[in-house]
Structure 1
């Protein structure tokens, strides 16, 4: 059976499929962890320790090296996404009460859901899009997006926008595993090579544990439609500043900026991770998690489509067609008719 291939075909599948399995367990067998106890209970309810190991491995995977172009692209994307998420969160806090919206179409929308959906870019999706529509330097620019992983950026935005106040030790506790991994990974390349695979390996485990906090019966409510609206808002509200920054600061044509306007699969874990260190968000995390998960799915589908359209209209794809009358980018080439040479080729 090709289960892994099937999972890979699902947008954010490595995160979302185990998340769904965990949600099914919680929905139809909510007492299973207490019934089985032991290791089974640990893997079904151990969101925080599993996330801690994942943050450590993510930190270990980041290197200080990199070319100037890659770092400029990375820095532009990360900083712009952070500032856009902060501005959006600040404005949203003027309209969304601390306990979230309780009635109407937007019932269940909280500031926690907004910030977690907005501030993390799907690095894998971005890299794959840039391999198709960008340069190798742009593809490598996802290197710094790992800094967005985990709850730290979301917590900084919540604090900077005045939504919440965190004690200094809470910030330190949230980022310490990441920093420890980063230091060890850069002190010894062999340690980096040893720990880096754990970042990918831990994803289905914390996703399954996270899913065991979600009751799928809640999806029968308008939360799905609200999640779609939130996802489209993520694309629109972050793509505009990202495109502008990519063109002005990054020296690109805007394609890279649009490709970064997604929600990372790991963002679905942030509400519960923040609630673990800041209990005042416990109630909000329960509604924020499914909303952010929907954002992951929708942006993973819509962003590649929009990126391809943008590339053909305003990027190198448009320039190639204007100069030659033929789209010369390999990703957009189709096979020539039988017996005919490819563009620029010979029999």
Structure 2
């Protein structure tokens, strides 16, 4: 079984996620029995797993090579940030809150700004270069609401005070990991293997918030969001290939919507009450994008890897 799952693109992450989502759809409260079972399998403590992944990844970052990481992943993330904020701003100003053909503006703004660190890490561990995984902490910043919040703040006449604490809290685990890993390389030897161990557990926990019935309800609108997402993010791939002269694997690995982003519409509505009527629809549409991009991106990365290195 293990070998068959491992042969699938990001299989050790996606298979637990999809299985968990199926069980969650049938019986949402199945693992909510308290104690250790709920803590490990319910998804309620997913931030601990994400924090541990950032810490483990941090131990593997060699400060001497950090400049190289920033030269590639840093550039790609800056491109994504510019696209996310600029395009989101235009969408808000042009479409208001109603959106396009029933696809809410909020769903587009949140989706375009999102990046799934778990899918990225799973793919670069399998198909990428060693230094690709070291960008995990920076990539995690795109799974929290800070970029959509920034976009809506810029587009709002009144604006809203930004909370930078989520950004800081995402950077601290990787910074502590970097400190330990560079003080003594044995810490990297100890903790770095934990990344692969935690990915299936993370996949399961993300699945405990995905209801396939809600995905089905979003239907065509959710798929429209997926199409818009991929078109908007295409420049990242071209920057990696044409300007940075890389294989494009890390760039395409960044093209998936984070499961955590499903909760972002509620956070935005808390800061901008005018968005409240659109929260439910946006969540369903984003949920569809989470499932579809996780699977599609994994197969695209495998295709690129095969065509590049196995000719």
TM-score normalised by the chain length of structure 1:
0.67
Deviation at 1:295, TM superposition (A): 1.0
The corresponding residue for 1:161 is 151
Structure 1 residue matching 2:209: 3-state secondary structure: coil
Question: What is the alpha-carbon root mean square deviation over aligned residues?
Answer: 4.0
After TM superposition, the structure 1 stretch with the greater mean CA deviation from structure 2, 43-52 or 102-111, is 102-111
Structure 2 CA distance for partners of 1:85 and 1:15, relative to 1, 3 Å: farther
Structure with greater Cα Rg? 1
Deviation at 1:87, TM superposition (A): 3.1
CA distance in 1, matches of 2:183, 2:269: 35
Structure 1 residue matching 2:52: 3-state secondary structure: helix
Deviation at 1:190, TM superposition (A): 1.0
Deviation at 1:76, TM superposition (A): 3.4
After TM superposition, the structure 1 stretch with the greater mean CA deviation from structure 2, 283-292 or 293-302, is 283-292
The corresponding residue for 2:231 is 236
CA distance in 2, matches of 1:222, 1:274: 17
Q: Deviations over 1:52-85 (max 9, x none)?
A: 2222222222222339777634443343334333
The corresponding residue for 1:214 is 210
The corresponding residue for 2:6 is 8
CA distance in 2, matches of 1:167, 1:211: 28
Structure 2 CA distance for partners of 1:26 and 1:258, relative to 1, 3 Å: closer
Structure 2 CA distance for partners of 1:195 and 1:90, relative to 1, 3 Å: farther
- 5+ residue gaps, structure 2: 154-159, 272-278
The corresponding residue for 2:247 is 256
Structure 2 CA distance for partners of 1:97 and 1:53, relative to 1, 3 Å: farther
CA contact (8 A) 2:141 2:167 kept: no
Structure 2 CA distance for partners of 1:263 and 1:290, relative to 1, 3 Å: farther
Question: Which one of the candidate residues 21, 37, 45 is aligned to 2:34?
Answer: 37
Deviation at 1:50, TM superposition (A): 2.3
Structure 1 residue matching 2:247: 3-state secondary structure: helix
Deviation at 1:291, TM superposition (A): 1.7
Question: Which one of the candidate residues 290, 293, 296 is aligned to 1:295?
Answer: 293
Bigger relative contact order (CA 8 A; separation at least 6): 2
Deviation at 1:125, TM superposition (A): 4.2
CA distance in 2, matches of 1:182, 1:124: 20
Structure 2 CA distance for partners of 1:204 and 1:102, relative to 1, 3 Å: farther
Structure 2 CA distance for partners of 1:52 and 1:245, relative to 1, 3 Å: closer
After TM superposition, the structure 1 stretch with the greater mean CA deviation from structure 2, 281-290 or 203-212, is 281-290
Q: Deviations over 1:227-270 (max 9, x none)?
A: 5444444443333354246434x2x2xx63476234466x5344
Which structure 2 residues correspond to residues 40-189 of structure 1 after superposition, within 5 A? 40-43=37-40, 44=42, 45-66=44-65, 72-94=71-93, 104=102, 109-117=107-115, 122=120, 125=123, 139=129, 142=132, 144-151=134-141, 154-163=144-153, 165-189=161-185
Q: Deviations over 1:155-208 (max 9, x none)?
A: 442344245743233332333222222222222211122111122211221221
The structure whose residues are more often helix, as a share, is: 2
CA contact (8 A) 2:236 2:251 kept: no
Q: Deviations over 1:70-114 (max 9, x none)?
A: 76344433433343333333334435666x859736698353222
Structure 2 CA distance for partners of 1:88 and 1:68, relative to 1, 3 Å: same
TM-score normalised by the chain length of structure 2:
0.73
Structure 2 CA distance for partners of 1:308 and 1:51, relative to 1, 3 Å: closer
CA contact (8 A) 1:80 1:245 kept: no
CA contact (8 A) 2:116 2:143 kept: no
Deviation at 1:209, TM superposition (A): 1.7
Structure 2 residue matching 1:194: 3-state secondary structure: helix
CA distance in 2, matches of 1:203, 1:126: 12
